[in-house]
Amino acid sequence: MKKKIIISILLIALSIGIGYQFLDLDIVDKVTAEDLRLKGKTIILDPGHGGMDQGTKGKKQGTIEKDLNLKVAKNIKKELEERTDAKVILTRDTDTSVLPQLDQKKELQARVDMVKKESADIYVSIHHDSYEDPNVEGITTHYTAFRSDDKKLAQLVQKAIFDQKIDSRDRGVKDSDYLVLRENKVPAILIELGFTSNESDEVRMNSTEFQDKAKKGIVDGIIDFLSKK
Ligand SMILES: [Zn+2]
């Protein structure tokens, strides 16, 4: 009889212990479906260049960077709006610059100013790179080391892109002194989705499969970052 009581007490103690463990895990790791909807968050998506400034130009297929940036950014906006309740704003949604005159520094600052005006939570810029050596290829996510959160956002997005088993070279994340990153007051990244100067990158970046995987990865990374904040 005594033995039974002792066993019962032990079992009760054990289940309370396990219960507490679950409770602790719950508190630490719980990201609810509601968190994932990112309600109340604002995201600025910046398709690089536009209007008079066309950005890089593809060697093989003549890809115009500003057009591809806009297409990719629009895809990301649509995906974010489908999967979350976040407010998603494009700095431009047509082939135009934000300012009427061509002044690169002022133009970039105007895009940063939109982040402040909209009280946005993060800034994500979309670009396609070019380099003198045609063998250089792959995807890089740039951030500024001025703010500690920016590297985390860059790492989450870069990882999420390659979690899609995307066919591209992983060039990793890079601390870069770009105006749009430096002058922002919120976590800001600039993604270079490939090199228009590299033949295979150019073919890839124009394919629907690549664009779908890039879009899904970027959105996964953004959700991951904002739902933990
Ligand atoms: Zn660019």
Q: Domain coordinates of the chain in residue numbers?
A: 1-30, 33-227
* 224 CA distance to ligand 1 middle (Å): 25
Q: 35 pairs with which residues across the strands?
A: none
- Rounded Cα–Cα distance for residues 133 and 122 (Å): 33
* 125 CA distance to ligand 1 middle (Å): 9
- Rounded Cα–Cα distance for residues 134 and 104 (Å): 26
pLDDT at position 228 is 86
* 164 CA distance to ligand 1 middle (Å): 23
> Residue 83, exposed/middle/buried by CB under 10 A (0-12, 13-18, 19+)?
middle
Instruction: Show the tokens assigned to 189.
Output: 């990244």
pLDDT at position 79 is 98
Instruction: Show the tokens assigned to 61.
Output: 């297929």
* 23 CA distance to ligand 1 middle (Å): 48
Mention every residue, 6+ apart, whose C-beta is less than 8 A from residue 150: 143, 144, 181, 187, 188, 189
- Sequential pLDDT tens for the chain (229 residues): 567 776 676 666 666 655 555 555 555 567 888 888 999 999 999 999 999 999 999 989 999 999 999 999 999 999 999 999 999 999 999 999 999 988 999 999 999 999 999 999 999 999 999 999 999 999 999 999 988 899 999 999 999 999 999 999 999 999 999 999 999 999 999 999 999 999 999 999 999 999 999 999 999 999 999 998 7
- Rounded Cα–Cα distance for residues 2 and 96 (Å): 83
pLDDT at position 58 is 97
* 209 CA distance to ligand 1 middle (Å): 22
* 54 CA distance to ligand 1 middle (Å): 8
pLDDT at position 76 is 98
pLDDT at position 35 is 82
Question: Do 90 and 74 touch, CB atoms closer than 8 A?
Answer: yes
* 50 CA distance to ligand 1 middle (Å): 10
pLDDT at position 21 is 56
pLDDT at position 229 is 75
What is the CATH number assigned to the segment(s) 33-227? 3.40.630.40
pLDDT at position 221 is 98
* 197 CA distance to ligand 1 middle (Å): 12
- Rounded Cα–Cα distance for residues 34 and 5 (Å): 44
